[in-house]
Amino acid sequence: MVSMINKTRIFISSAFETDLKEPRKMVKKHLEESGHEVPIFESGDFGSWENDTLDQCLSVVRSSDVFVLLINKKSGASSKLMKGNVTPTYLEYKTALNEKKHILVFVSPEVKKNFQQIHSELKRLHEGYKEVNHRAPDSPFDPLEKWIEDGQKNEGLTKQLLEVADPFVWAFLYEIYNNQHWLYEFDISKSEEQAKNISAMLSTSLRSVVGLISERKQIQKLKDQATYLLNYADYTLDMFNEKNSIISRVVDAVENKDLWSNFLTKGIKFLQKPTEIIQAPDFNPTVVNTINGCFAASLYYYNEEINVLTLVGTTGEITAEEEFSLNQEDVFVVDAFKNEDRISVYVENKQTIYITEPIGDYVLCLHFSLDEKMTTAAVTAYIKEIESSIFDKHEYYFGFLKLLIGGRSWEKKIIKALAPKLSMHMW
């Protein structure tokens, strides 16, 4: 009898392809005989598949310990790709990759042989795409589209390859290979023998080390949620105390520089942990770079009498201008205030991103450093992902910080902006 603690959950993934249906069942059979749990679609192991099929499938990938991918000649039931130029099988692979599952990839010998011949050409296409667009493609298929279109029109190697396998298969294999996953051969004509080899490989090397992974991850997830809520409660109380100190001492914001600086020091703590910049998070999440965190900040207050933005507080090792006239041009602090909109600016020689947020009569400027060097063009191409990685995760923290800074003047602007929508919902 196999011990439950050594039992692993193994997900077998492949495109919907008739030639792979029986081999997949054979692999499942041999793995289960070795004591593993192997859910696959054909057996109805996932429950009802009528609604949200893909989400349910990805959930099973997340709860598995090992991900086995079989690749032959088809990318799916049809040649039509999903939104973002991806396939369900590709999304399963990316989920396993992002969840750091143990991944084994098996490819038919004919496809593998042809892929090795065109790998350098696929690399050239990908590098060319990045050079033109200053960012990696959302899907590995994107750089190949013109190559595929031309290849289908003209006689040559490309047309021959497109007859061997679906176009997306070559794009998929390129990404897998670049992720340094070894391509093992799986000969469909010898499915029974190959299935036994896969089972033996997993049984001897994994059974004793991957048990209970899914349970540990679930416990860690609950722990992280509890920690977040506790931290938010502590942060709220600390920030209330800081703002009360400012209010109780002097009305004039400019005379409160020390207090505002202390406020900023505590206020940006939640932004100081490293956070990953994620490309195409909805359908193909890929880590582009890491933001090391917010290392400095400055706060400006609008003095209406003299029409200037005056520095009222700083934190971190920075030198900030004491004031800006609203007549100055090409100053992002001024532009953000006048346009009442967030502005993100990148200074390449400092590898620093400056995010400027107008908040009522104030302007908050946050300074972030990047873990790896990026060009101005690349940062511009990824600016939505950068802002999302910084603020989406900390939506409540940042909203609360802005409310404390802007006070009632900021609230009034928000209410004014929302008034038409609120009125419409009321009726």
pLDDT at 241: 81
Token code pair at residue 55:
């989400």
pLDDT at 367: 97
pLDDT at 148: 85
pLDDT at 415: 46
Domains present along the chain, CATH in parentheses: 4-211 (3.40.50.10140), 224-426 (3.30.450)
pLDDT at 290: 95
Rounded to 10 degrees, the C-alpha dihedral 111/112/118/119 comes to 140
DSSP secondary structure string, 228-289?
HHHHHHHHHHHHHHHHHHHHHH-S-GGGGHHHHHHHHHHHTGGG-S-EEEEESTTTS-EEEE
Nearest residue to 31 (alpha-carbon basis) of 85, 72, 68, 73: 68
Could you tell me where the beta strands, DSSP code E, fall in 142-215?
183-185
What are the backbone angles phi and psi of residue 138, rounded to the nearest 5°? Answer: -65, -35
Measured CA to CA, the distance from residue 210 to residue 230 in angstroms comes to 31
Measured CA to CA, the distance from residue 137 to residue 152 in angstroms comes to 22
Owner of token pair 């009522």: 360
pLDDT at 426: 38
What are the backbone angles phi and psi of residue 366, rounded to the nearest 5°? Answer: -110, 140
Are the CB atoms for 283 and 91 separated by under 8 Å?
A: yes
Q: What is the pLDDT along the chain (427 residues), one digit of tens a residue?
A: 344 345 688 899 888 888 888 888 888 888 888 778 888 765 545 444 444 678 888 989 998 888 999 999 888 766 688 989 999 999 999 999 988 888 989 999 999 999 988 889 999 999 999 999 999 999 999 999 988 888 877 777 777 888 888 889 999 999 999 898 888 888 877 777 877 777 776 665 554 444 444 455 555 566 666 666 677 777 787 888 888 777 766 555 556 788 899 999 999 998 998 999 999 888 788 899 999 999 999 999 998 889 999 999 999 988 899 999 999 999 999 999 999 999 999 999 999 999 999 998 999 999 999 999 999 999 999 999 999 999 888 888 898 899 889 865 544 554 454 455 444 443 3
pLDDT at 339: 93
Nearest residue to 272 (alpha-carbon basis) of 316, 216, 241, 206: 316
pLDDT at 298: 96
Collect all residues with Cβ–Cβ distance below 8 Å to 112 and sequence separation of at least 6: 183, 185
Q: What is the CA radius of gyration of the chain?
A: 27
Measured CA to CA, the distance from residue 309 to residue 361 in angstroms comes to 9
For 117, other C-beta atoms within 10 Å of its C-beta total 10
